[in-house]
Structure 1
Amino acid sequence: MTRLARLRRSLLELFPERHLYVRSGGEMKGYVLTPKTQMIVAAGISAAALWMGVCSAAMLVNMLSASSADREVARTQAKYERWIADRQARLNTAVAELNAGGGSNTALAANIEKRHVALAMLLTDMKGAPGAAAALTPVIDKVAASSDRDPAHIVAAVTASQEQLLDAADSFAKSRADRLRLAFRLAGLTPAAYMPQGGALGGPLIETKDPRALAAVLDVDENFAERIQHAANDMSEAHALESAAQSLPFAKPTPEAERSSSFGVRVDPFTGRPAFHSGQDFSGSRMEAIHATAPGVVSFTGVRNGYGNTVEVDHGRGLKTRYAHLAAISVVVGQQVALGQRLGGMGSTGRSTGTHLHYEVWLNGRAMNPDRFLKAGDYVQQAE
């Protein structure tokens, strides 16, 4: 109590009652500044000063961080400049060896041939991949169109074309893998969960994890082998994700119908109150064909409370799709269905205000947003 009394006296001495007089237009007005008012104003000024100090410190930290980022960019740029200079030096050495004649020609030709063998293995892995031909053909045509007959120029052109072809293949494989990974994440799925168990991917170019070992196997330089392996890794992952995507409900249940009510909270058309809508509605005409959005096994057909005539398909990995309010059902329980197979016709059975399809996607017993799977399907098609 004594300390509090002393503190109170100190504050009163620091902020005594003050009187402020203002004269305006021949009139005098007086204002009383109580100790409490002065303390509040002082606290506000202190808070503002503290805030300005914090902001100034934050700006200083950001400036220092930007400087660090600039230094990192400069280091990266220097690294790539050294790499480009190294590539140019190797090419100049190859041309010099060719011009010198003798046995070096044979060694240089053998080195180019070994690189071609490694590239051929990579391109074989890409054979048949949608979009690969469009991505790689321009580079191949550019080399084939060359009419230069000078041996030194031919070697230089072939060596450069190998680098360009490898860059194009690597870019294509990475873009394809990234787009498929994005499609899985859009659907709320983890791409790694749909890769081969243990992360094991097939292909002779990626069986050896160490690029130095692969370089020894292919008998090419380590840098070239590492780039070959990187592209092969991306391509193998893209193959695995594309294969997994074929078994996931990424397709549309009725391509021609328009989407109406979406997944989430909406106003219930019967009660007029907010209610959770666990699927995506598609409006259309009676008996319009309803298709399976992925291959699977029919796990239920019949009437469900509120859903009317319903078909449910089990796609494995905890995924299930539900098609409700059907006018007719075309499949039976236990039947294997393929992607796009007709399951029934659109109707208005059950708790429905008009002809439409109510479509649901379930993962491990939980309703998912079907629209995310439909968008994922669009990304998969773009990857193709």
Structure 2
Amino acid sequence: MSLSRLARLYRSIEAMFPERHLYVRTGGQMQAFVLTTGRQLAIAGVVAGAALWMGITTAALLVSWVTPSEAEAEIARTQARYERLIADRQARLDALYAQMRTDTGSLAELAHSVENRHAALALLLADAKAAPGAAQALAPALNKVAKANEADPVSRVELVRLSQDQLVAAAETYAKTRADRLKLAFRMAGLSPDRYAPPPGSLGGPLIEARDPSALAVLLDVDEAFAARIQRAAESLTEATALGEAAESLPFGRPASASRSSSFGFRVDPFTRRPAFHSGLDFGGAFATPVTVTAPGVVSFTGERSGYGKTVEVDHGRGFKTRYAHLSSIAVKPGQRVALGQRIGAMGSTGRSTGVHLHYEVWVNGRAQNPDRYLKAGDHVRQAS
């Protein structure tokens, strides 16, 4: 069956490509060429292969023209990026030169603007210089302002303005960071920061008494955007200063350098062996270890109290009081004003005590508080300084 099919196929090919004779006459002579079926098949195969190759290469060429390579695309993206950078730089230079050419066409007006911005910064730094940690936070930006004067005259103006912007940003970041850390310390002590922060509308000073940035811009003779940044930094700085001053008046200090030996809350009473409420913290230490006041205030009581032994109580205002008990000696008198960290007595074991230690209490509006929260808040305040 297969042989008959091959025979039919061969006959079909012979019918398509029958033997042909080609006669060529050259110079009066005749030459004959015989094109057999095999030769015609070979020629047809070569022609078909050449046509296929030309079609594939033509298609590949067209695809390459239509679809750019990844390398070409990356080159195009890079070129576009650099063109944008160059255009942005040129726009900044054009804006600077345009400002330099306005009005008198000299540097006088631009120099006047830079001087006014410096004057506004001087007011801001005057408020910030006494704040804890402000000098260290602002030192890098201040150094950049100083280095700007070392540049050539053409670049100096732009460098000074850029340094001024960086200095405002550094002041704003420092003030906001310090205010946020102090707010967190107040919350750690269970206190509302809003109670101690300056209320809206009560901020003073030339930088923040003008509530509208446009009014401040007119007052300082600077652009409104710069005036708004100065105002925000001044407001954050004022808030941080108010919270810092409030923190200094609260019992955030440590009453003794000794370690704690008993915590606030319910515990087993060492005398009755029954659960009892312990209204303070105990600090164990050697006999006569100095005991210091944890916040400024006025001594409201000294002497013996039942169960407490020799005791000192200090009124810190705003409803805050602290109590220091089981002392061996007392170094202050009622009505005496004491400062933070001042020695008020020495550790002992008077009253209802099983050994030498300090019993320390914090009271707010007549209610005992957990002193541990105030100690942790004080540690956080000192980290913010």
TM more than 0.5: yes
Letter in 2 for 1:371: D
The correspondence of residues 121-136 of structure 1 with structure 2, limited to 5 A, is: 121-136=123-138
Structure 1 distance, partners of 2:150, 2:338, is: 58
Is the alpha carbon distance of 1:286 and 1:218 closer, same or farther for their aligned partners in structure 2, counting shifts above 3 Å? same
8 Å CA contact retained: 1:97, 1:104: no
From 116, 119, 143, give the equivalent of 2:118.
116
1:169-214 Cα offsets, whole Å, 9 max, x none, are 1101111111112222211222222245676123210111111111
Match of 1:153 in 2: 155
Match of 2:360 in 1: 359
8 Å CA contact retained: 2:198, 2:239: no
Structure 2 distance, partners of 1:87, 1:236, is: 37
* Superposed displacement of residue 273, structure 1: 2.7
Is the alpha carbon distance of 1:380 and 1:86 closer, same or farther for their aligned partners in structure 2, counting shifts above 3 Å? farther
Structure 1 distance, partners of 2:281, 2:221, is: 56
* Superposed displacement of residue 130, structure 1: 1.8
* Superposed displacement of residue 267, structure 1: 2.2
* Superposed displacement of residue 328, structure 1: 1.5
1:288-340 Cα offsets, whole Å, 9 max, x none, are 11111111111112222221111111111100000011111222222222222
Q: Which 5+ residue runs of structure 1 have no aligned equivalent?
A: 1-84
Is the alpha carbon distance of 1:337 and 1:87 closer, same or farther for their aligned partners in structure 2, counting shifts above 3 Å? farther
TM-score with structure 2 length normalisation? 0.72
Match of 1:287 in 2: 288
Letter in 1 for 2:137: A
The correspondence of residues 133-282 of structure 1 with structure 2, limited to 5 A, is: 133-146=135-148, 149-196=151-198, 200-255=202-257, 257-282=258-283
Describe the SS at the equivalent of 2:277: strand
Letter in 2 for 1:175: T
Q: Does 1:300 align with 2:301?
A: yes
Letter in 1 for 2:365: N
1:47-104 Cα offsets, whole Å, 9 max, x none, are xxxxxxxxxxxxxxxxxxxxxxxxxxxxxxxxxxxxxx99996675124444799524
Is the alpha carbon distance of 1:269 and 1:367 closer, same or farther for their aligned partners in structure 2, counting shifts above 3 Å? same
8 Å CA contact retained: 2:149, 2:160: no
8 Å CA contact retained: 1:95, 1:152: no
Structure 2 distance, partners of 1:88, 1:279, is: 68
1:103-125 Cα offsets, whole Å, 9 max, x none, are 24222222222111111111111
Q: Show structure 1 runs of 4+ deviating over 3 A.
A: 85-92, 95-102, 145-150, 195-199
Structure 2 distance, partners of 1:119, 1:104, is: 24
Match of 1:340 in 2: 341
Describe the SS at the equivalent of 1:357: strand
Match of 1:55 in 2: none
Match of 1:106 in 2: 108
Structure 2 distance, partners of 1:181, 1:363, is: 19
Structure 1 distance, partners of 2:299, 2:123, is: 42
Structure 2 distance, partners of 1:184, 1:172, is: 19
Q: Does 1:328 align with 2:337?
A: no
Structure 1 distance, partners of 2:189, 2:139, is: 33
Letter in 1 for 2:251: P
8 Å CA contact retained: 2:149, 2:156: no
8 Å CA contact retained: 1:91, 1:156: no
Structure 1 distance, partners of 2:369, 2:90, is: 54
Q: Which 5+ residue runs of structure 2 have no aligned equivalent?
A: 1-86
Describe the SS at the equivalent of 2:262: coil
Structure 2 distance, partners of 1:176, 1:294, is: 21
Is the alpha carbon distance of 1:154 and 1:322 closer, same or farther for their aligned partners in structure 2, counting shifts above 3 Å? same
Match of 1:377 in 2: 378
8 Å CA contact retained: 2:188, 2:377: yes
Deviates more, 1:95-104 or 1:186-195: 95-104
8 Å CA contact retained: 1:95, 1:155: no
8 Å CA contact retained: 1:325, 1:349: yes
Number of residue pairs matched by the alignment: 299
Is the alpha carbon distance of 1:149 and 1:87 closer, same or farther for their aligned partners in structure 2, counting shifts above 3 Å? closer
Deviates more, 1:225-234 or 1:296-305: 296-305
* Superposed displacement of residue 166, structure 1: 0.8
Larger Rg: 2
Q: Percent identity?
A: 64
